[in-house]
Structure 1
Amino acid sequence: MVFLTRRILLLTSLALFSGCERQDAPPLDQQLYVWQRQWTSDHDVALRDSRTDFSALRVLALQAFPQAGWSRARIDPALLKRDGRPLIAVIRLDGQLKSLDQDEVTTQIQQVISDWQALGLSLCGVEIDHDAGNARLPAYREFLQQLRARLPASLPLSITALPAWLDSRELPALLSTVDSSVLQVHAVSDPRRGLFDPVQARQWANAWSRITSKPFYLALPAYGVALLPGDGGAPIVESEVRLEREGKRQELLADPQQLSQLSAKLRADPPAHLAGLIWFRLPLANDRRAWSLTTLRAVVRGDALSSRLALKLSAQEGLYDIGISNEGNLDSAWPERVTLAVRGCEGADALAGYALQQGPDLLTFTRLHDGRIAAGGQRAMGWARCAHIDQGGSNVYP
């Protein structure tokens, strides 16, 4: 009887202890920014292929600029209705605006809400993207307080936030006015230092978690930019739209390997109140400065990343089309050099981006400038009219 009593007490203690053990943290939510001002048919495929990995869409809806005024993004409501994921309308108020006209901005936002609802879109929130300097945070807080009071109480309000705000005493009061915040940890310093620093991003996230008591997200980069020489010394940033400007472009690209490692660490040990990650931006098929969706999905899933470049030949009556394919899940730079073992070649040529050297038994394609092959994509390099090309004796040099 004593043994049975002790056994019951032991089992009860184990049950109580196990009930107090820390459970695995829920997986971090993964969302997407849809940041194109003009929607195209490419959005249909991109939205469809992103559905399984991203829970919500934060869609650029409206922008205000100092000289240009207000501009609506030309969304495709039919695609968004069919997609069915929660929608957050993002209102971009340029940081160079001298002040925020409370009534005008509120009226514009209310009109967006009304118009989207009339189109049958179910809004789940509004996000204000305003790069206010620290000196203007008190005025920004008052603006957000009044905006919150004039928006539907059922509609969550969030803001995009800057790491520089960590130095301001106004930050706790500012964050108290909204339901959540999105800490942008990319493209927030001198672009010559790069788009993103994973160590600094983690430090900022930890610091943010100690200040806010509300959910926050990290905005992470899945894109690149180019730097062009500026007139005053500071570089000009070229992003989605090509600028008609002379000068050598310095390409900067967020490193998928770095972001994959940071994502894994955040999933394993998230800072307090971190609700998820939001990736900038939804990649379209023709977006030359965004990761491919294949690479972005692999990073989000925590898959091992690799590029697998392979030579692709297609022949018809001795005329070979020569190309390279990327059979991995990681976007790759164009190969630096490709050599083909050949026999009996009458002629050959390279396409734009490569130069050709032709010998009696070897064709050598050499890269002239940088470019990328998307994961799952391919690129034509040239052609050759030969009696035979030995694919087994040919080589691709990354």
Structure 2
Amino acid sequence: MPFFFRLLALFAALTVLNGCNQPDAPPLDQQLYVWQRQWTPAHEAALRDSRADFSTLRVLALQAFPQDGWRRARIDPLLLRHDGRPLIAVIRLDGQLKTLDQDEVITQIQQVLGDWQTQGLTLAGVEIDHDAGNARLPAYRTFLTQLRSVLPATLPLSITALPAWLDSPELPGLLATVDSSVLQVHAVSDPRLGLFDPDQAKQWAKAWSRITTKPFYLALPAYGVALLPETGGAPVVESEVSIERAGKRRELLADPQQLSTLGSELRQHPPAHLAGLIWFRLPLAGDRRAWSLTTLGAVARGDALRSHPSLQLSEQNGLYDIAVTNQGNLDSAWPERLTLAVQGCDGADALAGYALQQSPDLLTFTRLRDGRMPAGGQRAIGWARCTHIDQGGSNVHP
């Protein structure tokens, strides 16, 4: 074989081998928003248990409202110092603010950053969260330019960004003023249509990657909201804080399976400049409208998701407490029905959320309303006083 053809054959063989030995896609950086205005003792466990899976904390620091003015989040600096992860302070400027008083806003930001530093917190960056309309992007760029000039040169500045800005010719200039951006791809349109559309999120991410030349992140949902009855206009949205209002609530929850699939696709085929994912928000124990931290961590790692509801009985002197546990890593709905094979029952009842039907050898608990059971959690269903309950002959129907 002539030398030239031998060289071609060798090159082809090396190409095939290299293709077969391509390394796995690098893991995307995983970060967390800590978005509670009032910190509680539950933050300690949540921060501790999230440390292994999430590299950086983006913590709500300060908010400006159209009517109520400035509100600081009441953080626990001792917990943040002990946590030790990179810390980014998030400044929320409500999109309904008529204008941004640049001097006032910058003064407020400098004060809160100075107070955090006095409390022993070392900042890895500042993020401005402002849902400006496209017509106001030139003024927003002017504000960011001024803010950048007064912040330490070594302190990175980022912004939360909206997909609607993709239609604006001002976007490249706006992105040039900051070090990175966080594209919010959840709850960006009519909430009645859902919190999240993975196909739309991928399209936005690809479009964003073609415009920005700097690192960007995707802000993804790990929470739910309730839509309250409309009285005209946009629906009222209830999230972390309950709203005193009558009427049936329609619950919306981001689907962990959808987000897990999206994460896998982004790891395998990341858009240019995509630096990582930021999850909204750090869940606390008892947070009824957020994924459990177990589920959030599993999604972030790309683990296979499954829920595993099972019957849990505890007995003392013939009195059985009846509960269901979720031994999987995926939050699940309350079981639709439980059937228990029993003998010699002289009393039984269901707890709130379930109804009981009783026959001599069978107890049937039927769900009356929807509810969620976190991964690793437990839900009490009822009680029974019986001579025997056959756990092997009992069933949980998801």
What TM-score comes out, normalization by structure 1 length? 0.95
The correspondence of residues 342-357 of structure 1 with structure 2, limited to 5 A, is 342-357=342-357
Aligned to 1:367: 367
Aligned to 2:180: 180
Counterpart residue identity of residue 132, structure 2: A
Partner Cα separation in structure 1 for residue 381 and residue 24 of structure 2:
49
The correspondence of residues 126-275 of structure 1 with structure 2, limited to 5 A, is 126-275=126-275
The SS at the match of 1:261 is: helix
Change (3 A) 1:359 1:22: closer
Partner Cα separation in structure 2 for residue 116 and residue 331 of structure 1:
35
Change (3 A) 1:350 1:14: closer
Aligned to 1:98: 98
Partner Cα separation in structure 2 for residue 321 and residue 282 of structure 1:
32
Structure 1: where are the runs of 5+ without partners?
none
Partner Cα separation in structure 2 for residue 388 and residue 22 of structure 1:
59
Partner Cα separation in structure 2 for residue 36 and residue 24 of structure 1:
36
Partner Cα separation in structure 2 for residue 146 and residue 117 of structure 1:
22
- Per-residue Cα deviation, 1:316-338 (whole angstroms, up to 9, x for no partner): 00000000000000000000111
Partner Cα separation in structure 1 for residue 235 and residue 313 of structure 2:
41
The correspondence of residues 301-316 of structure 1 with structure 2, limited to 5 A, is 301-316=301-316
**Identity among equivalent pairs (%):** 80
Change (3 A) 1:272 1:347: same
Aligned to 1:114: 114
Aligned to 2:44: 44
- Per-residue Cα deviation, 1:238-296 (whole angstroms, up to 9, x for no partner): 00111110010000000000000000000011000000000000000011100000000
Partner Cα separation in structure 1 for residue 22 and residue 394 of structure 2:
56
Instruction: Quote the offset at 1:27 in angstroms.
Output: 1.8
Partner Cα separation in structure 1 for residue 66 and residue 76 of structure 2:
27
Counterpart residue identity of residue 106, structure 1: I
Aligned to 2:282: 282
Runs of 4+ in 1 over 4 A off after TM superposition: 21-25
The SS at the match of 2:110 is: helix
The SS at the match of 1:203 is: helix
Instruction: Quote the offset at 1:26 in angstroms.
Output: 3.0
Instruction: Quote the offset at 1:375 in angstroms.
Output: 0.2
What TM-score comes out, normalization by structure 2 length? 0.95
Counterpart residue identity of residue 309, structure 2: L
Aligned to 2:318: 318
- Per-residue Cα deviation, 1:47-94 (whole angstroms, up to 9, x for no partner): 000101100000000000001000000000000000000000000000
Instruction: Quote the offset at 1:230 in angstroms.
Output: 2.1
Partner Cα separation in structure 1 for residue 42 and residue 172 of structure 2:
41
Instruction: Quote the offset at 1:25 in angstroms.
Output: 4.5
Change (3 A) 1:340 1:23: closer
- Per-residue Cα deviation, 1:210-235 (whole angstroms, up to 9, x for no partner): 00000000000000000001211421
Partner Cα separation in structure 2 for residue 115 and residue 176 of structure 1:
29
The SS at the match of 1:345 is: coil
Instruction: Quote the offset at 1:150 in angstroms.
Output: 1.1
The SS at the match of 1:45 is: helix
The SS at the match of 1:178 is: coil
The SS at the match of 1:123 is: coil
The SS at the match of 2:387 is: strand
What number of residue pairs does the alignment pair up? 391
Structure 2: where are the runs of 5+ without partners?
none
Counterpart residue identity of residue 161, structure 2: A
Partner Cα separation in structure 2 for residue 225 and residue 373 of structure 1:
16
Partner Cα separation in structure 2 for residue 269 and residue 205 of structure 1:
11
Partner Cα separation in structure 1 for residue 24 and residue 138 of structure 2:
39
- Per-residue Cα deviation, 1:334-361 (whole angstroms, up to 9, x for no partner): 0011111111111111111111111111
Deviates more, 1:248-257 or 1:23-32: 23-32
Aligned to 1:387: 387
Aligned to 1:64: 64
Change (3 A) 1:276 1:347: same
Partner Cα separation in structure 1 for residue 309 and residue 54 of structure 2:
28
Aligned to 1:28: 28
Change (3 A) 1:149 1:22: farther
The SS at the match of 1:231 is: coil
The SS at the match of 2:342 is: strand
Partner Cα separation in structure 1 for residue 86 and residue 75 of structure 2:
15
Change (3 A) 1:388 1:60: same
Counterpart residue identity of residue 60, structure 1: L
Aligned to 1:74: 74
Counterpart residue identity of residue 383, structure 2: W
- Residue 332 in structure 1 maps to residue 332 in structure 2: yes
